[in-house]
């Protein structure tokens, strides 16, 4: 028997970027309220009479990979509940997105020893910020502020690993959150139109994110998945590096999202810097391997990691939002070449590092 007023899949209500400035509360009819932007896996949790579905952005069920969330959803959410939020991994005072990614396994491993092991090694939590259904009633037509009040009432007495994201109507408090909470691994703010209903698949929310630039060494390039019109490889991404205090070059991420024309142009621009012998590169003979200094990723397995090493003489300015550890959290945006910069000056010291802040204080409101 089901008591849900609707079932999965339901497209998530999304956010559109509005830059790095907190919008004024009166910039939309009915006003705004603000929440921290959590860095994890967006998910809807459907709690039926005896079952739980965890639906991420893709229309699948992640319940098999997060058994502790399922157990606590059955214990803490009444039947007929649909809650929107973020699956996160947090410890040592901050969020750890890469560790959360370690939890995803082939569905064939459901209930197996590896999932049980990862559950203990990388425990997950759920931070709720919206309520779509309560006690079998569909709340999606209700305004944001009404759903938020219903969520706060539902969450009284929740315990780890379930939490409610803080919210404020004060733009000054939101601006402080935007600055301070980054030190706990959060990556911006969400501004919610107070009177808007839940609109699946629509970018009704406003996303405020940090905008920064860095000068980086372009240490190589990887080919795009499709060759050019002449059948020759074209540039898919630039491999970026920064020097540490000991003079070691670390892989910090990539820049991609080039147009087809720009991919062809980059091949010609980079050709004079190609190294015939990878052993002459700071990363040695790393060709098709999973690690370079500063790079650890489980997603490397089985992928074509072939790349063209370059002499470390090119400097580019790239845009990024924030760091996770010693790497760019997301793909960087190439802006332009910096022929005036010495590659040796491209160090971590140039980066604006946020002051550490404990994520438990974020959840404490």
pLDDT of residue 285: 54
Task: Give percent above pLDDT 70 in the chain.
Answer: 94
**Closest alpha carbon to 252 in 303, 328, 315:** 328
Token pair recorded at residue 157: 């007495």
Determine how many CB atoms are found less than 10 A away from the CB of residue 272: 10
Mean pLDDT computed over 84-102: 92
Q: What angle in degrees, to the nearest 10, is found between the helix axes of 113-121 and 67-76?
A: 70
**Closest alpha carbon to 96 in 70, 66, 65, 122:** 122
The CA distance from 188 to 36, in Å, is: 6
Listed by start position, the domains of the chain span 14-210, 212-350
**Closest alpha carbon to 358 in 154, 176, 93, 12:** 93
- For 209-224, the pLDDT digits (tens) are 988 889 999 999 999 9
pLDDT of residue 307: 87
- For 304-356, the pLDDT digits (tens) are 558 899 999 999 999 988 888 788 888 899 999 998 888 998 999 888 777 78
pLDDT of residue 303: 46
* 118 contacts 102 by C-beta, under 8 angstroms: yes
Q: Which CATH class is domain 14-210?
A: alpha beta
- For 268-307, the pLDDT digits (tens) are 999 999 988 888 899 875 544 434 544 444 334 444 558 8
Q: What is the CATH number of domain 212-350?
A: 2.40.50.140
pLDDT of residue 252: 92
* 100 contacts 89 by C-beta, under 8 angstroms: yes
* Marked catalytic residue, from 16, 37, 202, 207: 37
pLDDT of residue 294: 44
Does the annotation mark 16 as catalytic? no
* 293 contacts 261 by C-beta, under 8 angstroms: no
The CA distance from 327 to 166, in Å, is: 28
Which of 107-116, 168-177, 294-303 has the lowest average pLDDT? 294-303
DSSP 320-351: ES-EETTEESS-BEEEEE-TTS-GGG-BGGGS
* Cα separation of the two ends of the chain: 38
Determine how many CB atoms are found less than 10 A away from the CB of residue 145: 18
């Amino acid at each position: 028997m089901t008591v849900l007023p609707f079932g999965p899949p339901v497209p998530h209500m999304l956010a559109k970027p509005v830059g790095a400035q907190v919008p004024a509360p009166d910039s939309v009819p009915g006003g705004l309220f603000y929440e921290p932007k959590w860095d994890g896996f967006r998910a809807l949790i459907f709690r039926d009479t005896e079952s739980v579905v965890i639906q991420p952005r893709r229309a699948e069920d992640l319940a098999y990979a997060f058994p502790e969330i399922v157990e606590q959803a059955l214990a803490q959410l009444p039947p007929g509940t649909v809650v929107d939020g973020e699956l996160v991994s947090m410890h040592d005072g901050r969020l750890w997105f890469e560790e959360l990614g370690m939890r995803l396994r082939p569905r064939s491993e459901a209930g197996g020893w590896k999932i049980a092991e990862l559950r203990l090694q990388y425990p997950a939590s759920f931070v709720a910020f919206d309520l779509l259904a309560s006690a079998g009633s569909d709340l999606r037509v209700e305004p944001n502020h009404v759903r938020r009040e219903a969520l706060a009432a539902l969450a009284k007495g929740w315990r780890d690993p379930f939490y409610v994201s803080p919210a404020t109507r004060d733009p000054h408090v939101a601006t402080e959150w935007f600055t301070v909470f980054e030190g706990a691994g959060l990556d911006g703010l969400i501004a919610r139109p107070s009177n808007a209903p839940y609109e699946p698949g629509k970018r009704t929310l406003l996303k405020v994110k940090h905008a920064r630039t860095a000068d980086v060494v372009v240490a190589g390039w990887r080919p795009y998945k499709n060759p050019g019109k002449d059948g020759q490889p074209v540039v898919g991404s630039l491999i970026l590096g920064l020097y540490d205090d000991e003079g070691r070059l670390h892989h910090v991420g990539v820049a991609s999202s080039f147009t087809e024309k720009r991919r062809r142009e980059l091949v010609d621009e980079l050709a004079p810097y190609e190294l015939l012998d990878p052993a002459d590169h700071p990363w040695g003979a790393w060709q098709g391997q999973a690690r370079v200094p500063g790079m650890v990723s489980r997603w490397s397995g089985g992928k074509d990691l072939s790349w063209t090493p370059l002499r470390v003489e090119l400097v580019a300015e790239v845009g990024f939002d924030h760091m996770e550890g010693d790497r760019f959290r997301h793909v960087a945006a190439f802006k332009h070449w910096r022929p005036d910069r010495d590659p040796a000056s491209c160090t971590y010291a140039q980066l604006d590092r946020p002051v550490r802040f404990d994520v438990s204080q974020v959840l404490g409101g």
